[in-house]
Amino acid sequence: MARAVKNKQKIINTVAAWGIGLLIFFPVLWTILTSFKTEAQAIADPPVFLFFDWTLENYAIVQERSDYMRYLWNSVIIAGVSTLVGIVVAVPAAWSMAFVPSKRTKDVLLWMLSTKMLPAVGVLYPIYLIFIQLGLLDTRTGLVIVMMLINLPIIVWMLYTYFREIPGEILEAARMDGASLRDEILYVLTPMAVPGIASTILLNFILAWNEAFWTLNLTAAKAGPLTAFIASYSSPEGLFYAKLSAASTMAIAPILILGWFSQKQLVRGLTFGAVK
Amino acid sequence: MNLKTTLCAAGALALVATAGANAATTVTIATVNNGDMIRMQGLTEDFTSSNPDITLEWVTLEENVLRQRVTQDIAAKGGQFDVLTIGTYEVPIWGNNGWLVSLNDLPAEWDADDLLPAIRSGLTVEGDLYAAPFYGESSMVMYRTDLMAKAGLEMPDAPTWDFIKQAAAAMTDRDNEMYGICLRGKAGWGENMAFLTATSNSFGARWFDENWKPQFDSEAWANTLNFYMDLMTSYGPPGASTNGFNENLSLFQQGKCGMWIDATVAASFVTNPKDSTVADSVGFALAPDNGLGKRGNWLWAWSLAVPAGSDATDAAKKFIAWATSKEYTALVASKEGWANVPPGTRTSLYENPAYLEAAPFAEMTLNSINAANPKQPTVDPVPYTGVQFVAIPEFAGLATQVGQEFSAALAGQQSVEQALEKAQALTADEMEAAGY
């Protein structure tokens, strides 16, 4: 009897999880489907779901009009380098907060997080003027710096949470065996926190990949990543939904594939320490 | 050849190569995503092959994003762009601010006198032409000829608002999702307020009197808004308060609108059989009036300008002269046919029999543009220029707020009287704060 109830509960949970998953994924699926429609089919009422004349025309037009590889390369560089630099800065910071806390540690953590509460547009002009002065407008270097800084609070917080789950005694034992601070972080702490660090890298890579405010405001013709590529297909006067969907699909495809292959690592990292 | 000679030769070659690289000028063009602009990007080889020392780079953005990006860059002197795509709202304001370079010195063969007078006057500030029009548009009535015939009515070339209401009533069949009229309802200075400001001109209303006092408490504005609400709630589609250009285009193309009053540029979309289910039964007429001497049509031109901070002014002007020339029009015609040339900027285009034959909406577009006068847009005198906008920096923010009130009234969240009262109050506050 108990087994039957358990099975029933499991089925309900599975159906609910699939339902929620599909609901979340539906806009992405609809974008992908629309990218294979004609412009007329894209706006058809009632909407057509699967039974339409599939076409690659929109992809051909987008390929012809835009230098996709340039945007893709910019996205890879900006998201990748900003995440890696962020990790290099955040690991020692999170280590000190997790293992050598002071009475101000929590305040510092909250202060760091509070920088995310300011609307980005509030600091647009100062940053724009600084970028002009430093010659960083429309450069990948400038965007790497900005992306790294805006994501740093999240990286530090995530790593801090993971590091807190690692028993301090292990690090203490390493110190007693003569490990230096560098060795302790590199050879003891980091290998133990690999799932946490990996999921932090993945999550921040995704955040930097999808960031659209700074990438649109600080770039022009050279350093624009895939967000700028998508924006170039938006139009309030003319129905270009199918082409916009094709551009969006091309922009999200790399990150979708990356997420698909690393989903185990991502889930393990995100649930790391959640259940004691 | 000894090592010394080889090194000298290599050095000389490197110098020549460097000099060549330095001589190339890059022109960065900020533009919007619409059919005519995209077509131009595809044809630029014609320009670069005859100007090998100029490299073109494009930044294509949605028009509101572009407006914000360009404003920010000009105000902060970022110098990121050498050619800007801007509209008739920005040109007089930015020209007055000294943000744009005068284009009075474009070559004589560019033929400034060939520009349509209404368009040219909208881009000129105290004798200086600050932008070259790439394509111009007005607004007009697009209607279903089959439904009109079925209703036993005939659309005049220059209809009145009363006739539009009568025709909308005759064509509406809500049970079959057929709506007599589709109009903009989505809030925004370039959305519902473009339509309503232009419409208000034909009702004798105005935004401000000659002393910059807001006029939303006038009878003319009450008549405008009451008429619009009555038309839309009786014969318009459901959810009209969120409909903009694209939503109405979609409805019209699917055969759900009897009439649609919007930008003339829509004519090529609704008559394109590839996208429109009603392509072979669309007629055109001038925007309606009320017999007061002003029609409810607007005037807009997407134009190319050079920002004052550009370090490639000469190359930018050369590009603009090419992109807005008669030769460019001929180039588009030779590659993609006369129906696809950018309309609404030059008199010569409307004297070209090949164009008139290829574009059935050409004459109506020209008449609509000529019917608008940005210097005298209203029945009573006003201190501003602009047909569907007031060419002051405060207008965009102000009209968006007013548009939200009007859109809320259309959604049934408040009455027309309440919307007008709020519009009057917030406009008075904003104008006082701005020092008018």
**A50-72 per-position pLDDT tens digit:** 888 899 999 999 998 899 999 99
Please name the residues between 79 and 108 in chain B that touch chain A, using a CB distance below 8 Å: 79-81
Is A103 part of any domain? yes
pLDDT at A117: 87
**A43 and B CB contact within 8 Å:** yes
Q: Which of A102, A109, A99, A147 is nearest to A127 (CA)?
A: A147
The interaxial angle of helices B35-42 and A57-65, nearest 10 deg, is: 60
Residue type, B179: Y
**A216 and B CB contact within 8 Å:** yes
Using pLDDT thresholds of 50, 70 and 90, give the confidence band for residue A273. low
Closest CA of chain B from A58, distance in Å:
14
φ, ψ at B208 (rounded to 5°): -135, 150
For the segment B100-105, the average pLDDT, to the nearest whole number, is: 96
Could you tell me the sign of the dihedral formed by the alpha carbons of A111, A116, A120, A124, in that order? positive
The two structure tokens encoding residue A272: 């790391």
Name every residue whose Cβ is closer than 8 Å to that of residue B318 and which is 6 or more positions away in sequence.
Answer: B51, B54
Please name the residues between 189 and 248 in chain B that touch chain A, using a CB distance below 8 Å: 190, 244-246
Q: Calculate the average pLDDT of chain A.
A: 89
Q: State the burial class of residue B49 (Cβ atoms within 10 Å of its Cβ: 0-12, 13-18, 19+).
A: exposed
Residue type, B260: W
C-alpha B176/C-alpha B116 separation (Å) is: 43
Best interface-test mutation with A: which of B25, B61, B74 has the largest number of A CBs within 10 A? B61
Is A22 part of any domain? no
φ, ψ at B314 (rounded to 5°): -65, -45
Across the interface, of B59, B62, B250, the residue whose CB is closest to A220 is B59
Best interface-test mutation with A: which of B34, B62, B310, B340 has the largest number of A CBs within 10 A? B62
Q: A38: which chain B residues are within 8 Å (Cβ-Cβ)? A: 274-275
Closest CA of chain B from A245, distance in Å:
15
Cβ–Cβ of A40/B275 closer than 8 Å?
yes
Q: Which of B300, B313, B373 is nearest to B102 (CA)?
A: B313
Is A8 part of any domain? no
C-alpha B337/C-alpha B196 separation (Å) is: 35
Q: Which of B117, B109, B104 is nearest to B306 (CA)?
A: B104
Across the interface, of B30, B65, B246, the residue whose CB is closest to A231 is B65
pLDDT at A7: 87
DSSP B338: G
**A157 and B CB contact within 8 Å:** no
Q: β-strands B299-305, B132-144: how paired?
A: antiparallel
A129: pLDDT strictly greater than 90: yes
pLDDT at B24: 83
Across the interface, of B28, B80, B250, the residue whose CB is closest to A239 is B250
Residue type, B69: R
The two structure tokens encoding residue A238: 């003319």
Q: A232: which chain B residues are within 8 Å (Cβ-Cβ)? A: 33, 59-61
Cβ–Cβ of B275/A238 closer than 8 Å?
no
Q: A128: which chain B residues are within 8 Å (Cβ-Cβ)? A: 72, 76, 78
Query: Least CA distance to B42: which residue of chain A?
Result: A65
B169: pLDDT strictly greater than 60: yes
For the segment B220-229, the average pLDDT, to the nearest whole number, is: 97
C-alpha B198/C-alpha B369 separation (Å) is: 13
C-alpha A201/C-alpha A58 separation (Å) is: 33
Cβ–Cβ of A43/B253 closer than 8 Å?
yes
The two structure tokens encoding residue B431: 């104008």
Closest CA of chain A from B329, distance in Å:
21
Q: What is the pLDDT of residues B252-302, one digit of tens each?
A: 999 999 999 999 888 888 988 888 899 999 999 999 999 999 999 999 999
For the segment A92-121, the average pLDDT, to the nearest whole number, is: 90
Closest CA of chain B from A132, distance in Å:
6
Q: What is the pLDDT of residues B134-167, one digit of tens each?
A: 999 899 999 999 999 999 999 999 999 999 999 9
C-alpha B165/C-alpha B153 separation (Å) is: 12
Q: Provide the CATH number for the domain around residue A237.
A: 1.10.3720.10
Name every residue whose Cβ is closer than 8 Å to that of residue B86 and which is 6 or more positions away in sequence.
Answer: B67, B70, B94, B131, B302, B303, B305
Is A128 part of any domain? yes
Using pLDDT thresholds of 50, 70 and 90, give the confidence band for residue A40. confident
pLDDT at B61: 87
Is A41 part of any domain? no
Across the interface, of A129, A138, A231, the residue whose CB is closest to B62 is A231
Residue-range definition of the domain harbouring residue A187: 59-272
Is A1 part of any domain? no
The two structure tokens encoding residue B249: 């285009």
**B62 and A CB contact within 8 Å:** yes
Least confident of A78-82, B21-25, B88-92, B313-317: B21-25
pLDDT at A171: 85
C-alpha B228/C-alpha B230 separation (Å) is: 5
A102: pLDDT strictly greater than 50: yes
Q: How many CB atoms lie within 10 A of CB A2?
A: 6
- The ipTM value here is 0.79
State CA A151 to chain mean position distance.
10
Q: β-strands B257-263, B179-182: how paired?
A: parallel
Adjacent-strand bridge partners of B141: B261, B285
Give the global pTM: 0.83
**B400 and A CB contact within 8 Å:** no
Contact of B369 with B287, CB cutoff 8 Å:
no
> Reduced to 3 states, what is the DSSP secondary structure of residue A4?
helix
C-alpha B422/C-alpha A137 separation (Å) is: 42
User: Hunting for tokens 């450069």 — which residue is that?
Assistant: A139
pLDDT at B359: 85
User: Hunting for tokens 């762009």 — which residue is that?
Assistant: B81
Structural domains in chain A (count): 1
Contact of B197 with B139, CB cutoff 8 Å:
no
Contact of B268 with B355, CB cutoff 8 Å:
no
**A233 and B CB contact within 8 Å:** yes
C-alpha B302/C-alpha B323 separation (Å) is: 12
Q: What is the pLDDT of residues A192-248, one digit of tens each?
A: 888 888 889 988 999 999 999 999 999 988 999 999 999 989 887 777 899 999 999
Using pLDDT thresholds of 50, 70 and 90, give the confidence band for residue B110. very high
φ, ψ at A206 (rounded to 5°): -65, -45
Across the interface, of A224, A232, A236, the residue whose CB is closest to B246 is A236
**A129 and B CB contact within 8 Å:** yes
Is A39 part of any domain? no
For the segment B327-351, the average pLDDT, to the nearest whole number, is: 92
C-alpha B116/C-alpha B136 separation (Å) is: 9
Using pLDDT thresholds of 50, 70 and 90, give the confidence band for residue A272. low
**B311 and A CB contact within 8 Å:** no
φ, ψ at A79 (rounded to 5°): -70, -40
Name every residue whose Cβ is closer than 8 Å to that of residue A195 and which is 6 or more positions away in sequence.
Answer: A162, A265, A268, A269, A272
For the segment B385-391, the average pLDDT, to the nearest whole number, is: 93
Cβ–Cβ of B78/A40 closer than 8 Å?
no
**B43 and A CB contact within 8 Å:** no
Closest CA of chain A from B9, distance in Å:
34
Cis peptide leading into B360, omega within 30 of 0?
Answer: no
Cβ–Cβ of A235/B33 closer than 8 Å?
yes
Is A149 part of any domain? yes
